Structure 1
Amino acid sequence: MTELPRLILARDHIQHGLTPKDLARRSSTGALVRIRHGVYVDGTAWHALKPWEQYRLRVNAAAETCGSPTVFARYSAASVWGIPTVGRQEVVHALTLQNDGGRSRAGVRRHYADPAGLTAVRREGLLVTGRVRTVLDLAAFTSFAEAIVPLDHVLRPDTAKGLPALSKEALLAGIEGNYTSAAARRIAVAIDFADPLSGSAGESYGRALMSVNGFEPPALQYEVRDADGLVGYADYYWRGVRVAGEFDGVDKYLKPEYLRGRSPSQAVVDEKYREDRIRATGRAVVRWVWSDLMTPGRLERKLAAAGVPRRRARSAG
């Protein structure tokens, strides 16, 4: 993750050599961006951040302005843990121990949590729910497709953060006593579907959408070989119809761990050569990008056009 820019707090304006009028003027010109009442950040640095990095900075800003110890949860805790989620987030999520239905104030939405079942963890200087509670909360209160993204992520080691994989048993054990029976069922179904073989947030979200739209489940990270040896691993593969599915996220063309010393343009060329080799084995290849996942119906149409089969009805045996 990009190193986040420093927050400029209005209460510290004297230390920055600025007056409140200076802050307001610089904010009006775009030199500073006010991301929360009394909290500013350099405008150029802010606009260079990815949306999820901007959200992470909003969580930091909320932590600076909350008047009492605050436990961040759901999307906000996920952003601190480095657990990916789907969709652009604006509201910061925190917990309240008062069972008054929760309340929102100044961009912070508070959710009730029973103190008896709550354990807070200090992470990067903030109090957050633990990884298990964080992903279970997301599974309980988001759609099935969105829930699979964080669940898949925590089932594999997070080498960037130095965190071990969580087991499905540990996740299931965290349900009891913390959720309604309906929420517990939703969580259990999502945990059962989750798979550590999914290689990225986009792959996880796409796989969940396939299930929602009734397609047969594919094999993941399917090894493809030809006469010259290993071609590579397809993100998805449907054996019965010999169709390989590939999610094209930007990571494989930008991140060093994917580039492995290559330039982005060479990575594009290599990916095209790899696809040609897969097609030469007699397999079809269907590709999609993030915009296909975020546009309702687009992935479904692509898969149907490629001949990916739907699940059989139970009555068909």
Structure 2
Amino acid sequence: MSKLPRLILTRHLAETGASTRPLPAAVKSGSLVRIRQGVYVEASAWEGLAAWQRYRLKIEAVAETSIVPPIFSHHSGAVLWGIPTIQRGQPVHALTTFRGGGRSRGGVRRHLVEPGMLDVDTVDGLLVTSRVVTVLDLAAAVPLAEAIVPLDHVLKPDNARSLPALTRTELLAAVAGRYSAAAERRVRAAVEFADARSGSPGESYSRGLIHTAGFAAPTLQHEVRSSTGFVAFADFYWRGSRTVGEFDGVAKYLSPEYLNGRTSGQAVVDEKLREYRIRATGLNVVRWVWSDLRKPGELEGKLAGAGVPRRRRGSRTQNRSGDTGI
């Protein structure tokens, strides 16, 4: 993980005898950003952070200002584990075993859990639900299309963090007794639908929206061949309409992992040539990007226009906006 800026804590300043009186003026002038009560960060550093990095700082701010160490869960647990999610201004999520009410306040959403169901690990010195429980809790709380993103991710090894792949059996074994009957059905359906072949969070979210919209299930990572041999692997393929679907994430044009020594401009040209080769085999090609996934009905309209078959009548209501929390 890239290094995050240092948090400025009023209690630390007080402990060292430094004055905290300049802090409100610094916030007003724009040189500091107040993350939560008693926690600040330099505005210049804050402005350069991605959304998930800002969210990670909010998690750390909650940890620094809590009397009892929180157990982070759901989207917050996922960020700590490096598991991608779809986020839309999420609060910080943590567990509580207290039944007295008032569990959500100060930007923290607390989820009630029975003490016997706690399954906790430590990541970077912070308490967090286990990887298994983190993705299951998300599947119980969010729509199917969003639940698929973290589930697809954990079915593959996380080489960057030296974490092994989880198995569908492991996930399903942890479901019983943890949720209501309705939530358990949602979780089991999401786990069964998850697929390690999805190449990115965007592909996972796309696949979830494709399913929700009622389209026939595509073949993933389809090998496109011509009379002369291999052409490309396509993200999605529908044999019934001879259509290839391609999700265009920003990473393939910016990330060194995907560029492999090329410039961004070269990557754009190479991707265009790749599409020409696919079309030359007689296949249709439909492309979409994150902004299409954020617009209700946009992906559905693109696929319908290309003649992608449906298994049933779809609904545009589930295609909601979102960003990955990676």
Normalised to the residue count of structure 1, the TM-score between the two structures is 0.95
Judging changes above 3 Å, is the alpha-carbon distance between structure 1 residues 309 and 28 closer, same or farther for their aligned structure 2 residues?
Answer: same
- Secondary structure of the equivalent of 2:160? coil
CA contact (8 A) 1:2 1:49 kept: no
CA contact (8 A) 1:96 1:102 kept: no
| Amino acid corresponding to residue 247 of structure 2 in structure 1 | F
Partner of 1:91: 91
Judging changes above 3 Å, is the alpha-carbon distance between structure 1 residues 34 and 90 closer, same or farther for their aligned structure 2 residues?
Answer: farther
Partner of 1:235: 235
Judging changes above 3 Å, is the alpha-carbon distance between structure 1 residues 160 and 53 closer, same or farther for their aligned structure 2 residues?
Answer: same
Residue 67 in structure 1 maps to residue 74 in structure 2: no
Alpha-carbon shift at residue 44 of structure 1 (Å): 1.3
CA contact (8 A) 2:14 2:20 kept: no
Alpha-carbon shift at residue 47 of structure 1 (Å): 1.1
- Secondary structure of the equivalent of 1:20? coil
Residue 299 in structure 1 maps to residue 263 in structure 2: no
Alpha-carbon shift at residue 3 of structure 1 (Å): 1.8
- Secondary structure of the equivalent of 2:171? helix
Partner of 2:11: 11
CA contact (8 A) 2:253 2:267 kept: yes
Alpha-carbon shift at residue 42 of structure 1 (Å): 1.4
Partner of 2:113: 113
Tell me how far apart the structure 2 counterparts of residues 160 and 213 of structure 1 sit (CA, whole Å): 34
Partner of 2:166: 166
Residue identity (%): 58
| Amino acid corresponding to residue 73 of structure 2 in structure 1 | A
Alpha-carbon shift at residue 5 of structure 1 (Å): 1.0
Judging changes above 3 Å, is the alpha-carbon distance between structure 1 residues 282 and 225 closer, same or farther for their aligned structure 2 residues?
Answer: same
Structure with more contact order per residue of length (Cα contacts < 8 Å, sep ≥ 6): 2
Judging changes above 3 Å, is the alpha-carbon distance between structure 1 residues 36 and 213 closer, same or farther for their aligned structure 2 residues?
Answer: same
Alpha-carbon shift at residue 231 of structure 1 (Å): 2.2
Structure 1 segments of 4+ aligned residues over 4 angstroms from their partners:
14-18
Residue 257 in structure 1 maps to residue 275 in structure 2: no
Partner of 1:157: 157
Normalised to the residue count of structure 2, the TM-score between the two structures is 0.92
Tell me how far apart the structure 1 counterparts of residues 274 and 62 of structure 2 sit (CA, whole Å): 46
Judging changes above 3 Å, is the alpha-carbon distance between structure 1 residues 17 and 275 closer, same or farther for their aligned structure 2 residues?
Answer: farther
Provide, for residues 218-253 of structure 1, a one-character-per-residue CA deviation record: whole Å limited to 9, x for no partner. 011111223454322111011122110000110111
Residue 191 in structure 1 maps to residue 205 in structure 2: no
Matched residue count: 313
Q: CA RMSD in A?
A: 1.6
Judging changes above 3 Å, is the alpha-carbon distance between structure 1 residues 54 and 280 closer, same or farther for their aligned structure 2 residues?
Answer: same
Q: Which runs of 5+ in 2 are unaligned?
A: 314-326
CA contact (8 A) 2:246 2:287 kept: yes
| Amino acid corresponding to residue 145 of structure 1 in structure 2 | A
